[in-house]
Structure 1
Amino acid sequence: MQSSKDHWRLIRLKYFIVTGSSRGIGRALSEKLLSSDHHLLCISREVNHELVALAESKNAPIDYFPIDLINVHEIDALMKRIIGTIDESAIQSIYLVNNAAVVQPVEVSSGSEPNDIIAHMNINLVAPMLLTSSFIKYTEPFKVDKRIMNISSGLSFNLKPMLSCYSTSKAGLETFVKAIGVEQRDVRIMGVRPGATDTRMYEQSVITDKSAGTIKLASTSYAADRIITFLFDRFEHGKVVKGW
């Protein structure tokens, strides 16, 4: 769904590809990035029409690319299509934020259905790996600032019962960040571990944790502010850092 206007082509834009942009941290991040000199390219299962309306009210360019990232074989073609919409003469910089993730199955490993484990790893680990690979490949002609931000979690090392899939996927994502940091210089990459944030995913992840009620949760707005700070001002290539 296109919403671009001719006058947006007259200025050089910062492009942001954000996954999981319809709710939670992804939505808060997308809302804060809305600007007349930013072009958002949103990836999520469903279009967030409130976000689109907000973008229009701010005269901020936005395009949506609905996809379920469980369908990993569609990702390369998706990224090729997204990058193909960009006018090379109008680009100032381009960023990919791999934010989309799931926490299910919340279950001991032996009690998890095989298809649920496969779906989880596809969304949380395989999809961001493929998005990163395709992003690097298809943005190669753009001689501009290119950055990738992967959203991880403290559960990558702070292990809890019934979250083996989630912890494993995030630990793998962090290793991937570090590995790409070693092999890649044209595109910079880093990972951020947000602290406990008031999202649906957090609620699903702590159903068996009796101490969860004592933890002070950050708002999605605060989490988005911190991520933006790292993306723009505190970017550390090949590093994974604590968000706060």
Structure 2
Amino acid sequence: MLRKRRVLSYLLERRLKGRLHFTLLDPDKVTPREAAELAVLAGKAGSDSILVGGSLGVYEPQLSEVVESIKKACSLPVILFPGNINGLTPKADAVLFMVLLNSDDPYYLSGVQVQAAPLVASMGLEPIPSTYIIVGHGGAAGFIGRARPIPYERHEIIAAHVLAGAFTGSSIIYLEAGSGAPRPVPPEAVALSRKLLDKAGFKETLIVVGGGVRDPSTARDLARAGADALVTGTIVEEDPEKLAPLVEAFKSA
């Protein structure tokens, strides 16, 4: 039986009080013990949820061990961010059930979703309808997902993809510049996307932005542009002490 939409409801309720932050942990880059320690740090820094996933190297039982370790260490909901069907485990609370909207490969548009749906149901995971959009650099996610990354400067194309994701029922629209990207998603593209969503009556659709955000100033710019949530991963792995100032800047802007 599928779990009730508790995690999505939690996120929407938290958003009414302020912006959200997600800490992304890659099972291929952290041990279960390290994941637990980083999750505790993320909670203290102000994160609202832990995302677990990666584009390469995710396998069982490592994935389940990482998720279990996180859940024992902190009370934040654990949401799977799967790069493929091997990124699922019943140990988590929910999964971003995503369509990679600008992929040229039908597998990422419908094939993997059809394969994953029965597994998500049998695992009892809460599916959160999500649209994933690769922008600019794209990183490993863009390469593996065979996406055509939208050029940074084409704000109107980015916004059109966001609107399409909302129109097809996604609760979360995730704009991704890629892990370790040299530049984040442009604030101008976020602002245009938010404007179009609000005008079309999709004010509760969450715009989530990730990739290339390394300093409080950038986080603040994205918040002021209308981003509902920020995802950080690389900086957490490389220098965890930078997380709290970044989260504070995003939430207080």
Which of the pair has more CA radius of gyration? 1
Q: Pick the TM interval, shorter chain.
A: 0.3 to 0.5
What TM-score do you get using the length of structure 1 for normalisation? 0.39
